[in-house]
Structure 1
């Protein structure tokens, strides 16, 4: 349910109607539409110096802090609907229906597979400070569904919620930044359940990555490893730098872990296809880099051992085992897993069938 920007008390359009007089409601609507004092005076046919006094009374009645909070309140209580106001002329060429917006090619791109970034028509956007960015990241990672204020508070602030209800303020600022083309509409919409990204108006790289993964799986089932490898490489190329770098909150931390595991799993699939296709040198170079970045990942170590053995480098394969064993013992206090020990023993015996090396490259 919408709340005030300062007290967190629930408000509705009906409650606002009971508190404000008709002229005050009209003025709050004009403020919410972004009109200047002189424009408000002209629209309501009142003296310009009366606008400030009336707005001051509105702020007191609603318990709001300032004009920015009044704008947020006007949106959240339903007095103002994005894209409908004095500045929007329905018959003008720039006016667009919701269906037209969804049909248009997305012009806002958001990247979460690295530091949070957003672009409009290729132009980078200023997303504000880190907490505000974390709110946008939460919406981008949940693209396609509504995220409640409670979820945003829990995901961005965790056990230390803000003193005031700042979520509507942050969303209001993000709405102003993330416009749909030249229209006044934003890619963020609000309803009684919370906030969500407008379907079709924004492109998020994590959704693009998941689409490539689905296509990759289909190519693999169809027996097309070369196409699967190509799609997997495209998915991996979407990862750029530290995931959600610097963003605070439990949600960002969990998503960093989840997306890191996703990236490692994709890298492993890519390397499996490279080995199947006989691209041994390329696979070994990438496996060494992946093993260095994740020295406690035993499946990666086992894959590197098999690749080195297949390339005629048995001694190097055994060295990888010794290095992994020491790291596991020193860092975690555990011995190598059964899977890693079995790979080691098969290399010692030269068990090519057990290592899966008898198949010819496709």
Structure 2
């Protein structure tokens, strides 16, 4: 096991996520990607992605340098750790303030709520109980009070009493691995929360990928930005928090759905900047069908079609969106959509006539 002092003295390691520290520790112990994936119950491509993020965050050129770094910072102690064997749950990296080792829980909210305990699907009970777990998963860095849970999950239909402690008790039982005494839901004077470093939530994973994509853009690597954004979009499995009741779930459904649309737009914009016009058009066309009243999506699709030499189709998009806005909302197109239309008309105005088409 890595020593607490060594970890605290290494700012670069402290910058890694819990999962990345696990992967780096296993790498330093001499394990290959397939062995790490098997031990941590992850797809192998996710392990590869984690390794790539580790190299970027630590400023290291390759995995050999990462192994050396794991020893230099004290993350791996010579002679200790699993050499060429499956990674056991006890290889997790802990700081002094972290709880005792517990079960590894993964929660997916970007679709119907799903949970995996130590890599295996787990039933977390009826929908209100699922909504309590979702509320905790959506607030990973703070405690959520009993009143917040009542308001967020039940709203005006709050039953009062001890319903929240009862649901938390049931969740703790469902999310306990074997006879392990350590629950993944903690309680303090402020309320309840998921134990840090033990739980992975797909919503947080999306934001990590988006942050990395933005860093890649600033570094001038748009291909990497597109790849990371695609990984983030792949985590969406349908309507976020589908079927969960309560005001919190309803608000988060809207926010996460909008987040997905924004990410898809951002990815398409990067693709256009890379000259991948056909890919951008295909993705934006599908998004425009899902979001017929979304003017930024329509404007970006028009720009992509214009870039692809399909100006007539771009004008069709404008007319279709204009009609939907008028019929459904009773409004005219906004400035963004009008500017996109004007750019197309202006290009038509300056296009060479038939007699000039072959002139250099």
Q: Give the whole-Å Cα distance in 2 for the aligned partners of 1:178 and 1:291.
A: 40
Correspondence for 2:153: 156
Q: Give the whole-Å Cα distance in 2 for the aligned partners of 1:181 and 1:280.
A: 52
Describe the shift of the 1:231–1:194 C-alpha distance in structure 2 as closer, same or farther (beyond 3 A): same
**Contact 2:110 / 2:235 at 8 angstroms: preserved in 1?**
yes
Displacement of 1:345: 1.5
Correspondence for 2:250: 253
Q: Give the whole-Å Cα distance in 2 for the aligned partners of 1:127 and 1:275.
A: 43
Q: Secondary structure at the match of 2:326?
A: helix
**Contact 2:102 / 2:183 at 8 angstroms: preserved in 1?**
no
Correspondence for 2:346: 349
**Contact 1:180 / 1:187 at 8 angstroms: preserved in 2?**
no
Correspondence for 1:324: 321
Q: Give the whole-Å Cα distance in 1 for the aligned partners of 2:191 and 2:257.
A: 28
Q: Give the whole-Å Cα distance in 1 for the aligned partners of 2:190 and 2:349.
A: 58
1:184 aligns with 2:181: yes
Q: Give the whole-Å Cα distance in 2 for the aligned partners of 1:209 and 1:103.
A: 27
Q: Give the whole-Å Cα distance in 1 for the aligned partners of 2:281 and 2:102.
A: 40
**Would you say how many aligned residue pairs link Structure 1 and Structure 2?**
260
Q: Give the whole-Å Cα distance in 2 for the aligned partners of 1:283 and 1:105.
A: 44
Q: Give the whole-Å Cα distance in 1 for the aligned partners of 2:227 and 2:100.
A: 29
Residues 49-105 of structure 1: CA deviation (Å, up to 9, x unaligned): xxxxxxxxxxxxxxxxxxxxxxxxxxxxxxxxxxxxxxxxxxxx99x9995975869
Correspondence for 1:108: 105
Q: Secondary structure at the match of 2:332?
A: coil
Residues 258-287 of structure 1: CA deviation (Å, up to 9, x unaligned): 111111111111000111111111111110
Describe the shift of the 1:330–1:205 C-alpha distance in structure 2 as closer, same or farther (beyond 3 A): same
**Contact 1:105 / 1:200 at 8 angstroms: preserved in 2?**
no
Displacement of 1:350: 0.6
1:228 aligns with 2:235: no
**Contact 1:118 / 1:124 at 8 angstroms: preserved in 2?**
yes
1:339 aligns with 2:350: no
Displacement of 1:182: 5.4
Unaligned runs of 5+ in 2: 1-88, 351-360
Unaligned runs of 5+ in 1: 1-92, 354-362
- Larger-gyration structure (1/2): 1
Displacement of 1:339: 1.3
Correspondence for 1:276: 273
Runs of 4+, deviation exceeding 6 Å = none
Describe the shift of the 1:101–1:243 C-alpha distance in structure 2 as closer, same or farther (beyond 3 A): same
Q: TM-score, normalised to structure 1's length?
A: 0.68
Q: TM-score, normalised to structure 2's length?
A: 0.68
CA RMSD in angstroms, aligned pairs only: 2.4
User: Could you tell me which of 308, 319, 325 is aligned with 1:311?
Assistant: 308
Displacement of 1:121: 2.3
Q: Secondary structure at the match of 1:350?
A: helix
Q: Secondary structure at the match of 2:115?
A: strand
Residues 168-217 of structure 1: CA deviation (Å, up to 9, x unaligned): 00000000011257512111011222100000111111111111111111
